[in-house]
Amino acid sequence: MTSNSNAQSSIDPHPFKVLGFAIHLLPDYVDWLSTRIAQHQGTHVVTLNAEMTMQAEQDLALADIIHRANLVVPDGSGIVLYLKLHGKTVRRCPGIELTETLLQTSARQPQPWSVFFYGGAPGVAAEAAEKLRDRFPRINIVGTQNGFLSEADTPLFLDRLRDLQPQIICVGLGVPRQEYWIAKHRHVAPNAVWIGVGGSFDIWADRKQRAPAWFCDNHLEWMYRLYQEPWRWRRMLALPQFAWRSILEKFRH
């Protein structure tokens, strides 16, 4: 999964497969990512959930990106329940929480790591940056760019990233667009941690609210998202499909 032998030694040498996709089980993902940043090791983080897993079964390009990612974390409750069915008790690691903790850690460094936000509607990433600066005064967000970037303007934006060389790049374009974009462009900042953050900018900017803790703790965050975004109902059909596949896999083994 990664070309660096030292990095491999710090990760589970036998990542656990969820319907053919490797999930890396670590006691502390932020600690591992902090080491990668300190060692200038480029890292693509994928936050895998049931919806993405089922989508990747039909989308070979997305599947390849997940297979080649340096770190795949159990974002969704479906992934956690699958692992539990197969004897692995792990805590869910929502991408928004992982990223926020990493950003908080970045602000605590003697020289705070540099961060860039790309994605979201016009103004949202900038608002998210301002709100996070209020929460973590030492955070070093060196730039933002909304996700409505024209093809003509993309080369200039890539030149900007190339000049800045941020150490953490958060891409909020939604799945699978953000995964495609990272895979295609991560060479412009090869030592950065690249992570797809979905709609996290909207939440950090207080444009949307995350599900209350009760929903998150009881694996029902998907229900709250469906309430907020009813247009997602077709995509949510992947959840029962994933659950059925998980049960079949359990009996096969």
pLDDT digits (tens, 9 = 90+) for 68-110: 999 999 998 889 989 998 899 888 999 999 999 999 999 999 9
Q: Report residue 2's pLDDT band, with 50, 70 and 90 as the boundaries.
A: very low
C-alpha–C-alpha distance, residues 225 and 236, integer Å: 10
pLDDT of residue 96: 96
User: Among residues 48, 49, 50, which one has the least CA distance to residue 240?
Assistant: 50
**pLDDT-based confidence at residue 249 (cuts at 50, 70, 90):** confident
Q: Give the model confidence (pLDDT) of 174-222 as tens digits.
A: 999 999 999 999 999 999 999 999 999 999 999 987 756 655 665 556 5
Distance, CA of 56 to CA of 72 (rounded, Å): 14
Residue among 12, 6, 76, 56 at smallest CA distance from 243: 76
Residues 6+ apart with CB under 8 A from 128: 117, 120, 144, 200, 201, 202, 204, 205
Question: Of 150, 201, 214, which Cα lies nearest the Cα of 173?
Answer: 201
Contact present, 96 and 197 (Cβ < 8 Å)? yes
Cα 26 from Cα 7, distance rounded (Å): 12
Whose structure tokens read 């993405």?
52
Give the residue numbers spanning the domain of 213: 5-252
pLDDT of residue 13: 36
Q: Cα separation of 183 and 62, whole Å? A: 10
pLDDT exceeding 90 applies to what percent of the chain?
71
Q: What region, left, alpha or beta, does residue 206 occupy, with left being phi > 0 and alpha being psi -120 to 50 degrees?
A: left
Residue with tokens 């089922």: 54
At 252 the pLDDT is: 72
Q: Which residue has the higher pLDDT, 234 or 32?
A: 32
Cis preceding linkage at 176, omega within 30 = yes
Phi, psi dihedral angles at 101 (to 5 degrees): -65, -40
Q: What is the pTM of this model?
A: 0.86
Q: Report the domain count for the chain.
A: 1
What pLDDT does 5 receive?
A: 38
